Structures are given as C-alpha cells and as structure tokens.
Amino acid sequence: MHALHLDQQLCFALYSANLALNKVYRKLLSQLDLTYPQYLVMLVLWQQDEVMVSEIGEKLFLDSATLTPLLKRLETAGLVVRRRAKVDERQVIISLTDAGRTLQEKAREIPEAIACAAECSIEDATALKKQLETLRGNLQRKA
C-alpha cells in the first residue's frame, strides 16, 4: 500500500462518492427545479420557517457571500421572501411562501429515492452519517 496512491485516499473516496450522490440528487431535484444547495436551504426552512440568513449559513456551513445569491434565486423563483428584521435591520429573515410550502409535499419522496439509490439499510446509512459527522467535527477543529 502506497500512501500517495489515489485509491488509498479518504479524501478521494469522499469526493467521488459526493459526485455520484450529487448526480442522483440532480436528477431528482430537476423535477422540483431546485439545485442541491437550494434544496438544502429549503430543508432548513421546511424544518423551521422564518430563519435569519446567519442561522441558515451556520446550519449549512455556508458564508453569506455564497448564501445570498442562492437566496435571491429562491426568492425570484417565488419560494421564499427575504425581509429585514424590525429589531436589527442588518439581519435578514427568510420565510417560505405558499409555493415554498407546497414544494415540500413534492419533495417528500426524495430521501427515500436517495436511500434506494444508495442500496444500504437504514442502520448502515445512520452509522455512516454519524461517522461522517464525527469526521467533519474532527476536521473542523483542525481547520
């Protein structure tokens, strides 16, 4: 085993798995007219409506420079509304529109479709998710 062989790299295994996963998501999300990052924002809002941009950024590990254009596109699509907070006008609150709430029903099948595509049990998927969250946490402490 050679340390610099591509097939020995954890980073490449994660990268290539992510590419494959994104291809499956792209196909599924095209039916909703969403990109994967937009889908992640919608997941945050479907879990809790009326969220500050900074909170969305924290949950998704995205900075405002990345998040703002994404939110503008969702607003243009009629799925969310951006408004300034009354208490502090520097803060922007994102809320779902009726169309954004309706889209949640159409998106309900996506997690199951991903699970089917991955061909792994709920237990294996849960264990892998936990391992990846631990890995992310460890790496963030070192970054």
3-state secondary structure of 118: helix
**In the predicted model, is pLDDT for residue 139 greater than 70?**
yes
Q: What is the pLDDT of residues 8-65, one digit of tens each?
A: 999 999 999 999 999 999 999 999 999 999 999 999 999 999 999 999 999 999 998 9
Contact in structure between 128 and 120 (CB atoms under 8 Å): yes
**In the predicted model, is pLDDT for residue 74 greater than 90?**
yes
Domain ranges of the chain: 1-31+109-143, 33-99
3-state secondary structure of 61: coil
| Residue predicted with more confidence, 66 or 90 | 66
Listed as own residue / partner, the contacts of 83-86 with beta carbons closer than 8 Å and 24 or more positions apart are 85/52
pTM of the model: 0.91
In this prediction, residue 1 carries a pLDDT of 64
In this prediction, residue 114 carries a pLDDT of 95
Sheet containing 80-84, strands listed edge to edge, beginning at the edge strand earlier in sequence: 51-52, 92-96, 80-84
In this prediction, residue 67 carries a pLDDT of 95
Task: Please report, rounded to a whole number, the percentage of residues in the chain having pLDDT higher than 70.
Answer: 99
Q: What is the pLDDT of residues 101-117, one digit of tens each?
A: 999 999 999 999 999 99
Question: Token digits for 25?
Answer: 């998501």
Which class in CATH covers the domain with range 33-99? mainly alpha
